[in-house]
Structure 1
Amino acid sequence: MKKVEIFTDGACKGNPGPGGWGAVVRYGKHEKEISGNDPDTTNNRMEMTAAIRALNLLVEPCAVTLHTDSKYVLDGITKWVEGWKRNGWENASKQPVRNADLWHELIEAVARHKVEWVWVKGHNGHEENERADRLASDAAEAVGR
Protein backbone atom coordinates (compact mmCIF):
# COMPACT_ATOMS: atom_id res chain seq x y z
CA MET A 1 0.00 0.00 0.00
CA LYS A 2 1.16 3.50 -0.76
CA LYS A 3 1.78 5.63 2.33
CA VAL A 4 0.01 8.98 2.28
CA GLU A 5 -0.08 11.80 4.80
CA ILE A 6 -3.09 14.11 4.96
CA PHE A 7 -3.43 17.32 6.96
CA THR A 8 -6.93 18.80 7.21
CA ASP A 9 -8.71 21.80 8.65
CA GLY A 10 -12.04 23.56 8.52
CA ALA A 11 -13.02 27.17 9.11
CA CYS A 12 -16.24 29.08 9.55
CA LYS A 13 -16.89 32.83 9.56
CA GLY A 14 -19.68 32.68 12.10
CA ASN A 15 -20.95 29.32 13.28
CA PRO A 16 -23.13 28.72 11.35
CA GLY A 17 -22.03 30.92 8.51
CA PRO A 18 -19.81 30.88 5.43
CA GLY A 19 -17.27 28.09 5.78
CA GLY A 20 -14.27 26.58 4.10
CA TRP A 21 -12.20 23.44 4.26
CA GLY A 22 -8.64 22.68 3.25
CA ALA A 23 -6.27 19.76 3.04
CA VAL A 24 -2.66 19.06 2.21
CA VAL A 25 -2.17 15.59 0.74
CA ARG A 26 1.38 14.22 0.60
CA TYR A 27 2.68 11.11 -1.14
CA GLY A 28 6.47 10.91 -1.03
CA LYS A 29 7.81 14.14 -2.55
CA HIS A 30 4.46 14.99 -4.14
CA GLU A 31 1.96 17.32 -2.50
CA LYS A 32 -1.44 18.56 -3.47
CA GLU A 33 -3.50 21.25 -1.79
CA ILE A 34 -7.29 21.11 -2.06
CA SER A 35 -10.01 23.33 -0.66
CA GLY A 36 -13.62 24.31 -1.03
CA ASN A 37 -16.41 26.21 0.66
CA ASP A 38 -20.06 26.33 1.62
CA PRO A 39 -22.08 29.53 2.03
CA ASP A 40 -24.01 28.33 5.09
CA THR A 41 -22.42 25.67 7.27
CA THR A 42 -20.71 24.94 10.58
CA ASN A 43 -17.10 24.51 11.55
CA ASN A 44 -17.65 20.81 12.37
CA ARG A 45 -19.11 20.17 8.92
CA MET A 46 -16.10 21.83 7.30
CA GLU A 47 -13.67 19.79 9.43
CA MET A 48 -15.43 16.60 8.32
CA THR A 49 -15.63 17.67 4.69
CA ALA A 50 -11.87 18.27 4.58
CA ALA A 51 -11.18 14.70 5.69
CA ILE A 52 -13.79 13.22 3.32
CA ARG A 53 -12.58 15.13 0.27
CA ALA A 54 -8.92 14.36 0.96
CA LEU A 55 -9.57 10.63 1.42
CA ASN A 56 -11.78 10.54 -1.69
CA LEU A 57 -8.98 12.15 -3.70
CA LEU A 58 -6.97 8.93 -3.37
CA VAL A 59 -7.60 6.65 -6.37
CA GLU A 60 -6.46 3.41 -4.75
CA PRO A 61 -6.42 2.00 -1.21
CA CYS A 62 -3.60 3.59 0.81
CA ALA A 63 -2.07 3.53 4.26
CA VAL A 64 -3.06 7.01 5.41
CA THR A 65 -1.91 9.06 8.36
CA LEU A 66 -4.58 11.73 8.69
CA HIS A 67 -3.75 14.73 10.88
CA THR A 68 -6.63 16.82 12.20
CA ASP A 69 -6.96 19.51 14.85
CA SER A 70 -10.63 18.57 15.33
CA LYS A 71 -11.37 16.47 18.40
CA TYR A 72 -14.94 16.22 17.04
CA VAL A 73 -13.74 14.42 13.90
CA LEU A 74 -11.12 12.36 15.72
CA ASP A 75 -13.36 11.21 18.57
CA GLY A 76 -16.36 10.76 16.28
CA ILE A 77 -14.64 8.38 13.89
CA THR A 78 -12.50 6.55 16.46
CA LYS A 79 -14.79 6.41 19.52
CA TRP A 80 -18.40 7.41 18.96
CA VAL A 81 -19.40 6.05 15.56
CA GLU A 82 -19.76 2.39 16.59
CA GLY A 83 -22.15 3.38 19.38
CA TRP A 84 -24.16 5.54 16.99
CA LYS A 85 -24.48 2.61 14.62
CA ARG A 86 -25.64 0.32 17.45
CA ASN A 87 -28.14 2.93 18.64
CA GLY A 88 -29.71 3.59 15.24
CA TRP A 89 -27.83 6.87 14.76
CA GLU A 90 -29.02 8.37 18.02
CA ASN A 91 -26.59 9.93 20.47
CA ALA A 92 -26.42 9.29 24.22
CA SER A 93 -29.29 11.78 24.71
CA LYS A 94 -31.49 9.74 22.33
CA GLN A 95 -31.35 12.57 19.79
CA PRO A 96 -30.44 12.12 16.12
CA VAL A 97 -26.68 12.34 15.58
CA ARG A 98 -25.75 15.72 14.13
CA ASN A 99 -24.10 15.64 10.72
CA ALA A 100 -25.08 12.00 10.18
CA ASP A 101 -24.94 12.55 6.41
CA LEU A 102 -21.25 13.46 6.64
CA TRP A 103 -20.50 10.71 9.17
CA HIS A 104 -21.82 8.20 6.64
CA GLU A 105 -19.63 9.75 3.92
CA LEU A 106 -16.60 9.69 6.20
CA ILE A 107 -17.16 6.04 7.15
CA GLU A 108 -17.34 5.16 3.45
CA ALA A 109 -14.20 7.17 2.63
CA VAL A 110 -12.25 5.60 5.50
CA ALA A 111 -13.34 2.04 4.58
CA ARG A 112 -11.22 2.05 1.42
CA HIS A 113 -8.01 2.80 3.29
CA LYS A 114 -6.01 1.88 6.36
CA VAL A 115 -6.26 5.15 8.30
CA GLU A 116 -4.28 6.19 11.35
CA TRP A 117 -5.81 9.26 12.98
CA VAL A 118 -3.49 11.82 14.59
CA TRP A 119 -4.62 14.85 16.56
CA VAL A 120 -2.53 18.02 16.30
CA LYS A 121 -3.04 21.16 18.32
CA GLY A 122 -4.40 23.85 16.01
CA HIS A 123 -2.80 27.29 15.67
CA ASN A 124 0.34 26.01 17.32
CA GLY A 125 2.93 26.40 14.57
CA HIS A 126 2.46 22.94 12.99
CA GLU A 127 3.48 23.75 9.40
CA GLU A 128 1.04 21.56 7.51
CA ASN A 129 -1.85 22.29 9.89
CA GLU A 130 -1.20 26.01 9.37
CA ARG A 131 -1.27 25.45 5.59
CA ALA A 132 -4.57 23.55 5.82
CA ASP A 133 -5.94 26.30 8.07
CA ARG A 134 -4.96 28.98 5.53
CA LEU A 135 -6.61 27.02 2.70
CA ALA A 136 -9.80 26.64 4.77
CA SER A 137 -9.86 30.29 5.88
CA ASP A 138 -9.20 31.57 2.35
CA ALA A 139 -11.99 29.35 1.01
CA ALA A 140 -14.43 30.60 3.67
CA GLU A 141 -13.54 34.21 2.89
CA ALA A 142 -14.08 33.56 -0.84
CA VAL A 143 -17.78 32.74 -0.30
CA GLY A 144 -19.85 35.33 -2.09
CA ARG A 145 -16.98 36.97 -3.95
Structure 2
Amino acid sequence: MSERFSLSSYLHDPDERFCRPAIPEYFRDAAIVYTGGVCLNNGQDHLTAGYGVFWGSGHPNTISRPVYGSWPTNQRAELLAVRSAMRQALRDGFGKMIIRTDSMYIINSFNCWIHTWKENGWLNKNKMPVSNRYLIQDIDRLRCHLPIFFQHVRAHNGVFGNLMADRLAKHGARSF
Protein backbone atom coordinates (compact mmCIF):
# COMPACT_ATOMS: atom_id res chain seq x y z
CA MET A 1 0.00 0.00 0.00
CA SER A 2 1.46 3.35 -0.97
CA GLU A 3 2.19 6.11 1.54
CA ARG A 4 -0.62 8.18 0.02
CA PHE A 5 -3.14 5.48 0.89
CA SER A 6 -1.67 4.30 4.17
CA LEU A 7 -3.93 2.91 6.86
CA SER A 8 -3.13 5.77 9.22
CA SER A 9 -4.67 8.31 6.83
CA TYR A 10 -8.07 6.63 7.23
CA LEU A 11 -8.13 6.18 10.99
CA HIS A 12 -9.47 9.57 12.03
CA ASP A 13 -12.50 11.20 10.52
CA PRO A 14 -13.77 14.67 11.46
CA ASP A 15 -17.33 13.55 10.61
CA GLU A 16 -17.44 11.37 13.72
CA ARG A 17 -19.50 13.99 15.54
CA PHE A 18 -22.37 13.32 13.09
CA CYS A 19 -22.37 9.56 13.71
CA ARG A 20 -24.09 7.37 16.30
CA PRO A 21 -23.36 5.46 18.39
CA ALA A 22 -19.93 6.65 19.53
CA ILE A 23 -16.99 4.48 18.51
CA PRO A 24 -15.97 1.99 21.23
CA GLU A 25 -12.36 2.12 22.37
CA TYR A 26 -11.55 -1.20 20.62
CA PHE A 27 -12.38 0.34 17.22
CA ARG A 28 -10.51 3.64 17.71
CA ASP A 29 -7.70 2.47 15.40
CA ALA A 30 -9.98 0.82 12.81
CA ALA A 31 -10.23 1.80 9.17
CA ILE A 32 -13.34 3.84 8.32
CA VAL A 33 -15.38 3.29 5.17
CA TYR A 34 -18.71 4.70 3.97
CA THR A 35 -21.19 2.50 2.12
CA GLY A 36 -24.36 3.33 0.24
CA GLY A 37 -27.01 1.69 -1.87
CA VAL A 38 -29.84 3.04 -3.98
CA CYS A 39 -32.71 1.78 -6.11
CA LEU A 40 -33.95 4.13 -8.82
CA ASN A 41 -37.37 4.11 -10.52
CA ASN A 42 -39.23 2.58 -7.55
CA GLY A 43 -42.80 1.75 -8.52
CA GLN A 44 -41.93 1.59 -12.21
CA ASP A 45 -41.22 -1.26 -14.60
CA HIS A 46 -37.50 -0.66 -15.03
CA LEU A 47 -35.82 -0.73 -11.62
CA THR A 48 -32.10 -0.13 -11.41
CA ALA A 49 -29.98 -0.29 -8.29
CA GLY A 50 -26.39 0.45 -7.48
CA TYR A 51 -23.98 0.63 -4.60
CA GLY A 52 -20.94 2.61 -3.61
CA VAL A 53 -18.03 2.12 -1.25
CA PHE A 54 -16.09 5.26 -0.34
CA TRP A 55 -12.69 4.87 1.35
CA GLY A 56 -11.54 8.40 0.64
CA SER A 57 -10.92 10.69 -2.29
CA GLY A 58 -8.67 8.98 -4.81
CA HIS A 59 -8.44 5.75 -2.81
CA PRO A 60 -8.10 2.71 -5.10
CA ASN A 61 -10.76 0.74 -3.19
CA THR A 62 -13.47 3.34 -3.77
CA ILE A 63 -16.02 1.72 -6.11
CA SER A 64 -19.35 2.27 -7.85
CA ARG A 65 -21.26 -0.81 -9.10
CA PRO A 66 -24.69 -1.72 -10.48
CA VAL A 67 -26.83 -4.38 -8.81
CA TYR A 68 -27.56 -7.22 -11.19
CA GLY A 69 -30.50 -9.60 -10.95
CA SER A 70 -34.20 -9.73 -11.63
CA TRP A 71 -35.34 -7.74 -8.60
CA PRO A 72 -32.95 -4.99 -7.51
CA THR A 73 -33.75 -3.24 -4.22
CA ASN A 74 -32.08 -0.57 -2.15
CA GLN A 75 -31.68 -3.07 0.72
CA ARG A 76 -29.86 -5.50 -1.52
CA ALA A 77 -27.68 -2.66 -2.81
CA GLU A 78 -26.83 -1.61 0.76
CA LEU A 79 -25.87 -5.20 1.63
CA LEU A 80 -23.71 -5.56 -1.47
CA ALA A 81 -21.85 -2.37 -0.55
CA VAL A 82 -21.13 -3.67 2.96
CA ARG A 83 -19.99 -7.05 1.66
CA SER A 84 -17.73 -5.42 -0.93
CA ALA A 85 -16.13 -3.16 1.69
CA MET A 86 -15.51 -6.13 3.98
CA ARG A 87 -13.96 -8.21 1.20
CA GLN A 88 -11.69 -5.30 0.28
CA ALA A 89 -10.64 -4.87 3.91
CA LEU A 90 -9.87 -8.57 4.32
CA ARG A 91 -7.93 -8.66 1.06
CA ASP A 92 -5.88 -5.65 2.12
CA GLY A 93 -5.13 -6.99 5.59
CA PHE A 94 -7.20 -4.67 7.75
CA GLY A 95 -7.75 -6.07 11.24
CA LYS A 96 -11.02 -4.29 11.98
CA MET A 97 -13.19 -1.63 10.45
CA ILE A 98 -15.95 0.87 10.98
CA ILE A 99 -18.69 0.90 8.36
CA ARG A 100 -20.63 4.14 8.24
CA THR A 101 -24.01 4.06 6.55
CA ASP A 102 -27.25 6.01 6.49
CA SER A 103 -29.17 2.73 6.15
CA MET A 104 -31.12 1.81 9.27
CA TYR A 105 -31.78 -1.50 7.53
CA ILE A 106 -28.05 -2.30 7.74
CA ILE A 107 -27.71 -1.01 11.30
CA ASN A 108 -30.74 -2.96 12.56
CA SER A 109 -29.98 -6.10 10.55
CA PHE A 110 -26.54 -6.57 12.09
CA ASN A 111 -26.93 -4.92 15.48
CA CYS A 112 -30.43 -6.12 16.41
CA TRP A 113 -32.39 -8.48 14.19
CA ILE A 114 -29.75 -11.03 13.18
CA HIS A 115 -29.74 -12.68 16.61
CA THR A 116 -33.50 -13.28 16.49
CA TRP A 117 -33.38 -14.42 12.87
CA LYS A 118 -30.79 -17.07 13.74
CA GLU A 119 -32.84 -18.27 16.71
CA ASN A 120 -36.01 -18.41 14.56
CA GLY A 121 -34.43 -20.36 11.69
CA TRP A 122 -34.09 -17.25 9.51
CA LEU A 123 -37.76 -16.30 9.78
CA ASN A 124 -38.77 -12.72 10.54
CA LYS A 125 -41.26 -11.66 13.21
CA ASN A 126 -44.12 -12.46 10.79
CA LYS A 127 -42.77 -16.02 10.34
CA MET A 128 -41.76 -15.23 6.75
CA PRO A 129 -38.30 -15.98 5.33
CA VAL A 130 -35.84 -13.15 5.93
CA SER A 131 -35.30 -11.12 2.76
CA ASN A 132 -31.73 -11.14 1.48
CA ARG A 133 -30.91 -13.99 3.84
CA TYR A 134 -27.95 -15.27 1.84
CA LEU A 135 -26.27 -11.88 1.60
CA ILE A 136 -26.81 -11.31 5.32
CA GLN A 137 -25.38 -14.73 6.14
CA ASP A 138 -22.38 -14.10 3.90
CA ILE A 139 -21.66 -10.80 5.67
CA ASP A 140 -22.10 -12.51 9.04
CA ARG A 141 -19.52 -15.15 8.05
CA LEU A 142 -17.10 -12.41 7.01
CA ARG A 143 -17.56 -10.82 10.45
CA CYS A 144 -15.95 -13.93 11.94
CA HIS A 145 -12.69 -12.85 10.25
CA LEU A 146 -13.06 -9.08 10.50
CA PRO A 147 -14.55 -7.27 13.50
CA ILE A 148 -16.98 -4.62 12.26
CA PHE A 149 -18.57 -1.68 14.01
CA PHE A 150 -21.62 -0.38 12.17
CA GLN A 151 -22.14 3.33 12.72
CA HIS A 152 -25.20 5.26 11.57
CA VAL A 153 -24.81 8.56 9.71
CA ARG A 154 -27.86 10.73 9.22
CA ALA A 155 -28.62 11.07 5.52
CA HIS A 156 -28.39 14.44 3.79
CA ASN A 157 -26.52 15.95 6.73
CA GLY A 158 -23.49 17.17 4.83
CA VAL A 159 -21.18 14.31 5.86
CA PHE A 160 -18.74 14.16 2.96
CA GLY A 161 -18.06 10.41 3.07
CA ASN A 162 -21.75 9.60 3.14
CA LEU A 163 -22.51 12.02 0.32
CA MET A 164 -19.79 10.38 -1.77
CA ALA A 165 -21.05 6.84 -1.04
CA ASP A 166 -24.55 7.90 -2.12
CA ARG A 167 -23.20 9.56 -5.26
CA LEU A 168 -21.24 6.40 -6.11
CA ALA A 169 -24.36 4.27 -5.55
CA LYS A 170 -26.43 6.46 -7.90
CA HIS A 171 -23.69 6.32 -10.51
CA GLY A 172 -23.68 2.52 -10.20
CA ALA A 173 -27.45 2.36 -10.68
CA ARG A 174 -27.29 4.57 -13.75
CA SER A 175 -24.49 2.51 -15.30
CA PHE A 176 -26.67 -0.61 -15.61
Shift of 1:142: 1.0
Larger Rg: 2
Q: For 2:55, what is the secondary structure of its paired residue?
A: strand
* Matching of residues 36-51 of structure 1 within 5 Å: 36-39=65-68, 40-51=71-82
Task: Provide the alpha-carbon RMSD of the alignment.
Answer: 2.0
User: d(CA) in 1 for partners of 2:142 and 2:38?
Assistant: 21
Aligned to 2:34: 7
Is the partner of 1:101 in helix, strand or coil?
helix
Distance in 1, Cα, partners of 2:158 & 2:94: 31
1:20–1:38 contact (8 Å) kept in structure 2: yes
Residue in structure 1 matched with residue 54 of structure 2 by the alignment:
24
Mapping of residues 108-119 of structure 1, within 5 Å = 108-119=141-152
Q: Distance in 1 between matches of 2:160 and 2:143?
A: 24
Instruction: Please tell me the residue identity of whatever aligns with 2:52.
Output: G
Normalising by structure 1, we get a TM-score of: 0.89
| 1:120 aligned partner, one-letter code | V
Cα drift, residue 72 of structure 1: 0.4
Question: Paired residue for 1:97?
Answer: 130
The alignment status of 1:124 with 2:167, answered yes or no, reads: no
- Cα drift, residue 123 of structure 1: 1.7
Identical residues among aligned pairs (%): 29
TM-score, scaled relative to structure 2? 0.74
State the distance in 1 between where 2:74 and 2:42 align.
6
Which letter maps to 1:15? N
- Secondary structure in 1 matching 2:75: helix
Deviation at 1:131, TM superposition (A): 0.5
* Equivalent AA in structure 1 for residue 163 of structure 2: E
Could you tell me how far 1:30 is from its partner in structure 2?
A: 8.0
Paired residues of 1:34 and 1:54 also in contact (CA < 8 A): no
CA-to-aligned-CA distance 1:36-60 (integer Å, 9 cap, x gap): 1124400010011101001111223
Distance, in Å, in 2 between the alignment partners of 1:3 and 1:47 is: 21
Q: Count matched residues.
A: 141
Native 8 Å contact 1:12 1:18 kept in 2: yes
* Dislocated runs of 4+, deviation >4 Å: none
What runs of 5+ residues in structure 1 fail to find an aligned partner?
A: none
Equivalent in the alignment of 2:95: 62
